[in-house]
Amino acid sequence: MEFDLVVIGAGPGGYVAAIRAAQLGLKTAIIERENLGGICLNWGCIPTKALLRSAEVFHLAKHGEDFGVNTGNVKADLEKMVARSRGVSKTLSGGIAGLMRKNKIEAINGFASLISKNEIEVKSDTETKKINAKYIILATGARARHLAGFEPDGDRIWTYREALTPKFEPKTLAVVGSGAIGSEFAYFYNTIGVKVTLLEVANRILPAEDAEVSELVKKSFEKEGMTVNTSVKINSITKERKCVNLHFELDGKVKNETFDAVIMAVGVVPNTENIGLEKAGVAKDEKNLVKVDKFLQTNIDNIYAIGDIVQGPWLAHKASHEGVIAAEKIAEKMKKFDAKHTHPIIRENIPGCTYCHPQIASIGFTEEKAREKYKTIKVGKFPLMANGKSVALGDTNGFIKIIFDEKTGEILGCHMVGPEVTEMIQGIGIAKQAELTEEDLMHTIFAHPTVSESIHEAVLSAFGKALHF
């Protein structure tokens, strides 16, 4: 079996890379040990959003009378919510298989490891075979980080996988870690009626977000009945037959609390072990990430790496974009494509989204980082309570913040919290990629009534020109 390109890993980076390579005329294969679509489609982005949609519908139904709709006694059915979530993933995974067939990509099931820079060994349940490739893209993704003493057991100590397909509905739940994954699961379970305690080692939840966003979301979570603890030191966990005891320190005091289950959401680690990097001579850094140049090429000229095994942020859309870059640069080497318009990723232009309620979306520098990096900045902020569409939606808890370089008008960052901001952030992504300034945004006509016109108001606010606040 010989191919121009073999992609190892069929997540959102790998399968997109394979499709782009096939479009450019490369004989392409993709190897996946589990399901097409990878973690994102099967155990991450997609199924969690399906669960969160169920939580949103339940929340709205409970508050139906606020909108003049009498919904009666509304109940959450966790089993049916999970079944719907798994169905969504199954449908989309099947769609990926169809895309592989459409693009004449050989999909191979098994665990792949490098034998040399051009040889790959694939082991499945039934056979072991070798594949030759002129070029290789490594897209093996990442897995949940396990802390010593807090290893998941599939019963009471969960990672995102167990949280997506729980064997029982807990009455009490601790979530350790308040990044996007932890906050989304904390919100979901709290919304359907579980008593949730969110524990964060940093001095605020969502520590990667702008500080004002973190504070608003914390207050929102607490208003909905969640217990939120920050600056926590986790000491140990003791499992019993029907519960777990979590031992931690808070405000200088030792706490011992009992929960039905604990979700460990403390980050991810790259899947770079046991895939033959050493045999092929591929270099890694001190964090076990594969070293690559700006076009994702490793130190071995025919091997590229993308997604969660290279420098972050570790997001599906970043991996997909990297897959296209790598495929186009490989096609150029094979004289099948002119990659003069293929550009490296600008990391400050990668948006990030968290789908709890209120939704969170951000791009670029936080206000704190912008002040550190630039001499003078302008910051505009517009509260959604002053936005007509948000008032009509009955969802005014949030704001839009946008940050500019005062000297040049460059957009340095934007931070949104509120209804459908995960759909709105792309507008700022386009503006940053196109290197638009505050003047361009001021002269852009935003539709009314929309939540997105709050972006316009935030821009105006930064320069003392706000019209509605």
Taking a C-beta distance cutoff of 8 angstroms, is the pair 266, 259 a contact?
no
Has 2 been labeled as part of a binding site?
no
Has 182 been labeled as part of a binding site?
yes
Angle between helices 316-333 and 14-23 (to 10 degrees): 30
C-alpha span between 282 and 308 (Å, rounded): 16
Q: In what order do the strands lie in the sheet with 157-158?
A: 157-158, 261-264, 172-176, 195-199, 227-229
Has 61 been labeled as part of a binding site?
no
CA–CA distance from 125 to each of 35, 122, 129, 143, 370 (Å)?
15, 10, 12, 22, 52
Strands 377-383 and 399-405: antiparallel
**For residue 345, which of 328, 362, 359 has the smallest C-alpha distance?**
328
Taking a C-beta distance cutoff of 8 angstroms, is the pair 327, 137 a contact?
yes
Residue type, 265: A
Has 177 been labeled as part of a binding site?
yes
Catalytic residue, chosen from 63, 343, 448, 468, is: 448
Has 267 been labeled as part of a binding site?
yes
C-alpha span between 37 and 9 (Å, rounded): 9
Which two three-digit tokens encode residue 406? 């005062």
Has 362 been labeled as part of a binding site?
no
**How many Cα atoms occupy the beta-carbon half-sphere of 387 within 13 Å?**
29
Has 4 been labeled as part of a binding site?
no
**For residue 31, which of 16, 13, 14 has the smallest C-alpha distance?**
14
C-alpha span between 398 and 425 (Å, rounded): 14
Residue type, 67: F
Vertex 83 angle, CA 81 and 86, to 5°: 110
Has 180 been labeled as part of a binding site?
yes
CA–CA distance from 369 to each of 384, 402, 421 (Å)?
24, 13, 22
C-alpha span between 148 and 404 (Å, rounded): 43
Which two three-digit tokens encode residue 43? 């155990």
Has 452 been labeled as part of a binding site?
no
- Mark whether 448 is an active-site residue: yes
C-alpha span between 81 and 83 (Å, rounded): 5
Run of H or E residues at 405 = strand 399-405
Phi and psi at residue 15, in whole multiples of 5°?
-70, -30
Has 328 been labeled as part of a binding site?
no
Binding residues: 49, 177-184, 200, 267, 308
Active-site positions read 448
Binding site membership for FAD: which residues? 49, 308
- The binding site for NAD(+) comprises 177-184, 200, 267
